[in-house]
A and B are shown apart, each in its own frame.
Chain A
Amino acid sequence: MLVEADETMPVRTSDDVVRVRQAVRGRAVAAGFTLVDQTKIVTAASEIARNTVDYGGGGTLRIEVLRSGARRGVRLTFTDQGPGIPDLAKAMTDGYTSGNGLGLGMSGAKRLSNEFEVQSSPGQGTVVRLARWK
């Protein structure tokens, strides 16, 4: 698997969430994603970026553009050093929220991705990695 582009950006404020959307859009366009695929990965990025800011106390996003044979993909890795997610299975359930959202962030972002994994434990922060392929 070839990495064609690799950048890291801060995810600390709600302005950063907007910048994340724009950066992911730019990479998805460059990777040749259709409009629907662009919209899906940008929406997934927006959900996870907001979690990083609101629950993780801020963190970073690494955006990679990947090539595997004829396929191209965009992989996003959100990392924070926040309190972590005590019950991952619960956090992945539709409608579950620890804040005042709709509880669709994690489960919705997973549905919008081809690959999705979360590593988290209390006090250890959270890493969410997702990818979408064209």
Chain B
Amino acid sequence: MGEIPILKIGDCLLVSIQVDMHDRMAMALQDDLTERIVATKARGVMIDISALEIVDSFIGRMLNSIAAMSRVLDAVTVIVGMRPAVAITLVELGLELSGVQTALNVDRGLTMIRRIIDADEQADAGRGR
């Protein structure tokens, strides 16, 4: 059973899904990521799905729950690199990645995460924290 590497860059975690995941692998990634968020005190999680040829309802659900869990752990999740054909299919499938932020590529994803974290810290500072 293959493992999907999680890289730490500053206060962000980067996951690049490069294989066609079976369902157990997707569940394992979800567990690994939440553990790593806590262990590294990461503020951002970026998931690169540019190599994924499909996103079905199971993988979609996994992406939604990763975003929800990291939010609870005070980290923001951005999904990057979704292929156009995958995006078209997702809409027709009826899957809403409602709790998930998306960006076109890794560069824009990092900028987005940075912006959200900075805004968050300013808000905290404004409240005297």
The residues of A with any CB-CB pair to B shorter than 8 Å are: 14-15, 17-18, 21-22, 25, 35-36, 38-40, 42-43, 46-47, 50, 94, 101-102, 104-105, 107-108, 111-112
Which residues of A lie under 8 Å from residue B84 when comparing CB positions? 36
User: Is chain B's interface secondary structure helix, strand, loop, or mixed overall?
Assistant: helix
- Given known A36-B89, A111-B92, contact A47–B22 (CB-CB < 8 A): no
Cα A82 to Cα B86 in complex, Å, equals: 31
> Which of these binds chain A: B38-46, B52-60, B104-112?
B52-60
The number of chain B residues touching the other chain, given as a range, is 20 to 34
Instruction: Give chain B nearest CB distance to A22 CB in angstroms.
Output: 7
Query: A104, B95: Cβ atoms under 8 Å?
Result: yes
Cα A104 to Cα B55 in complex, Å, equals: 13
Chain B residue with Cβ nearest A97: B57
Which residues of A lie under 8 Å from residue B55 when comparing CB positions? 43
**Per-residue 0/1 for B51-81: is the Cβ within 8 Å of any A Cβ (1 yes, 0 no)?**
0011111101100000000000000000000
Cα A50 to Cα B22 in complex, Å, equals: 10
Query: B89, A102: Cβ atoms under 8 Å?
Result: no
Cα A104 to Cα B83 in complex, Å, equals: 21
- Most chain B beta-carbon contacts within 10 A, residue among A22, A39, A102, A108: A39
Q: Could you jot down 30 A-B contacts, CB within 8 Å?
A: A14-B22, A14-B24, A17-B22, A22-B20, A35-B85, A36-B84, A36-B85, A38-B85, A39-B53, A40-B88, A43-B55, A46-B54, A46-B58, A47-B56, A47-B57, A47-B93, A50-B23, A50-B58, A94-B94, A101-B58, A102-B57, A102-B60, A104-B57, A104-B93, A107-B94, A108-B92, A108-B93, A108-B94, A108-B95, A112-B89
